[in-house]
Structure 1
């Protein structure tokens, strides 16, 4: 029997498992997929850090390992395969048992036994849910929220549905959403729209952070069997509108060599991007394995089709096609294709001992007595959905497509309390949640960066060790003792 079971081999899960194992705790790491590192090894090489002064603990250790690998004195985003090798080496040296292909089937109690989808049972004194989806916390009956809340819930200025706003991620006005027969075009979300500021349970956009290359052995973007020409009618109309108005076409992937060896971490830039905004991800957080697999497949197909369309279709401006033509799939990453990890920017969020909100980041950050890590990246809510509205112009209203939800607001460096990664005592006493932590939709959009996950995973691993050593519920861990161990391991708790 392991004393600690960590569910989800994300970067946070690896850090939690290794941090505890380094202190002698027998650890089993369960991963539903076949890789370790989550998004850090799954395409998100050029990660968002914010203020580098808050980067400490195992996040700082990872940055140093990357710098050492490339023989540089400063951190640069790693190639995906390099990130995975670093995490694998950590797990191997720490003696963590890693079991792939195992999801949560059920749990007994809160939590005495975890039943895996492999038919085996896993018992431990403490559990860590480090998955992007929060499947273990949900199986344990720990309360959670999904998606946007209303402004009134926490008194947050930036909560709820957003009004239309211009910007680099939005379309020019008067792009029609309708086909000739009056139906909505593909790639538009047809779900009802709530009033501005109200909650609707919608989550940020998902997508793939594609790893592309300019190397001679790069692999071309190809046309997929099942590619549908009609899915790209909105894009064709958009580019035609830009040409009519003599406007420059936007960037679509942020194609800069931001990774070593001529590679690029392709991000979602502009109104048309690798972010799929038609509502396909809305059911994902609470979906079962079969439905999730279908949603993932939809994102895979969309991404492959997007790259084919943007690089070949005559409706796409020549400069966009030519620019994308300089790139292709990196032959030595992901077998020359899509990453193994869908970018699940947001799924479940636990309702824990303390809920981090906009006020903790932006309005009036206050010191936390139980700080375990710091954050600093801006409130970064990516587009939530693509919909349409009537624009009341004379003489008749005009239907116009727009992307809704994007927001970017600076924050000051802020502290994340231990209470945000533990459930309420009445809900579960032996679970730690460093990824789907207790935060509002707005606050989560800042905390969700991988360096923060690594630091929170590190803290969760040490907290599990201290809970096991002192035979206490996770809510009763001596916080001052935990903080001292974190400081000893170079975590940053204040600046």
Structure 2
């Protein structure tokens, strides 16, 4: 676990009313689901908004393949987050929405519940967001990466004055929201943060740090030799196996849970595009999987989850699957060029895996036959070769504020002050590393899936920085939470909830001319409840599966 201290940009403190009036009331960096909902919320509160997108689309993972929603408990999803899923239902209530495959009557259980559509296509989610933003009077500014170098964030004391993009444009504001998965604005503004995994001792937890003994899901269920020549360690390790020896369980480290592209595939011939073969494809990269298949692994297609119109949201399943285990550890702190190289490795890995499963003679014939039925969707991600435009950054930087959401808060063992939303999903971490165990076989480490026991509140204090670091910034995505607590909070419906709460707080801070740390919680709570937010568990709440 790497803890990084805040870098002070300038000394002193500037009262809110002295910030230059030019610019917007609220500048939002990041067009994730949280950023989109924050922009709409600010407009509902009569504030001017600048919404800066890192790329040329909105919606983050909600519009990039994560259509099999990780919702946890429907009953604690309220406000504009619930409204989003209701708008999706309105979209699918139209016969014109059903272009391929079955109609609504043939949908699997769980597609529709509580008057909302919980499972959807990326393009449908993007259409809802685009229309909603337009009706709110928000025009996103695309391809606006923040300059993370010196001067990229201008501060006056503890207040952000403006941010500069790589294109040289400056955007001033009275309040700012970092809605990115990476926490790039937060870091550039000198706000303290951490990456990796804390030790269990740091916050009195049981599921943080290295977790080899508790990694039972997505684990090798048979002994698989990890060496290039079986039984010969001197021959070297197969690709995607680390030679590093893990620290004792519960020990903190600087490693990150695995990322993946959530693939939207189809078996509808009329909408199917061929799966690409990487130019530098090497079947040897998947020799560990070949050996595992030979041992009897037969659940390759377990997480080809159906979404409407004959499509899927493909997630990781099993010991060797679509997660690029170990490829992403440098990502949070990497430069833009370095991140691009990391993403390219993930694309090569996943495209090569798909090709291997469909063509390599080491793969059982039944698997190759099934794989041949699938292809990319011609009508998804059309400007990106039908490949998702964004990788699933399950965890990047996490703010280190005065209050840190941790396992005891999620389990209800420690109080959570000033709630501004609720979570309910598993404390969930995908695998972090693939190593050789003491017996000489391949093992994965880091996968944890433990239900917190009930829905739980998320504190306002977890989305505001320390006062001395930034008094006009809110961070609803890369919020202040331990690794394992973040593993539950990090779900798209929750990010929408926290985006709404952050923008509401920003509007109240503007009106009262106070720092975000001094927003009157009673007023914030009243406003959130008036706009449909759920801040405590209802008497009756529908439970959903836990399978992120």
TM-score if structure 1 supplies the norm length? 0.94
Task: Assess if the C-alpha contact under 8 Å between 2:215 and 2:447 holds in 1.
Answer: no
Structure 2 CA distance, aligned partners of 1:340 and 1:256? 19
Structure 2 CA distance, aligned partners of 1:206 and 1:88? 26
Task: Assess if the C-alpha contact under 8 Å between 2:146 and 2:163 holds in 1.
Answer: yes
Greater shift in the superposed pair: 20-29 or 192-201: 192-201
Equivalent of residue 382 in structure 1, options 426, 430, 447: 430
Structure 2 CA distance, aligned partners of 1:7 and 1:296? 21
Show structure 1 runs of 5+ residues with no match.
392-398
- Is 2:442 aligned against 1:401? yes
The equivalences for 1:252-401 within 5 A come to: 252=301, 254-257=303-306, 259-277=307-325, 279-335=326-382, 337-362=386-411, 364=413, 366=415, 368-391=416-439, 399-401=440-442
Structure 2 CA distance, aligned partners of 1:98 and 1:148? 34
Show structure 2 runs of 5+ residues with no match.
1-22, 94-111, 538-548
TM-score if structure 2 supplies the norm length? 0.85
CA shift for structure 1 position 173? 4.2
Structure 1 CA distance, aligned partners of 2:243 and 2:264? 31
Task: Report how many residues are paired.
Answer: 480
1:64 maps to 86
Structure 2 CA distance, aligned partners of 1:352 and 1:45? 32
Task: Assess if the C-alpha contact under 8 Å between 1:365 and 1:414 holds in 2.
Answer: no
CA shift for structure 1 position 471? 0.8
Structure 2 CA distance, aligned partners of 1:166 and 1:416? 27
CA shift for structure 1 position 327? 1.9
In structure 2, the residue corresponding to 1:29 is in which secondary structure?
strand
Runs of 4+ off more than 6 Å: none
| Deviations 1:411-445, CA, capped at 9 Å, x for gaps | 21100010000001111101000000000001000
The equivalences for 1:44-443 within 5 A come to: 44-71=66-93, 73-105=115-147, 106-109=152-155, 110-165=159-214, 167-180=216-229, 182-217=235-270, 218-240=272-294, 242=295, 247-252=296-301, 254-257=303-306, 259-277=307-325, 279-335=326-382, 337-362=386-411, 364=413, 366=415, 368-391=416-439, 399-411=440-452, 412-443=454-485
The equivalences for 1:460-479 within 5 A come to: 460-479=502-521
CA shift for structure 1 position 337? 2.6
Structure 1 CA distance, aligned partners of 2:341 and 2:188? 21
CA shift for structure 1 position 447? 0.1
Task: Assess if the C-alpha contact under 8 Å between 1:148 and 1:160 holds in 2.
Answer: yes
1:8 maps to 30
CA shift for structure 1 position 165? 4.8
Structure 2 CA distance, aligned partners of 1:153 and 1:348? 17
Greater shift in the superposed pair: 187-196 or 286-295: 187-196
Structure 2 CA distance, aligned partners of 1:324 and 1:376? 34
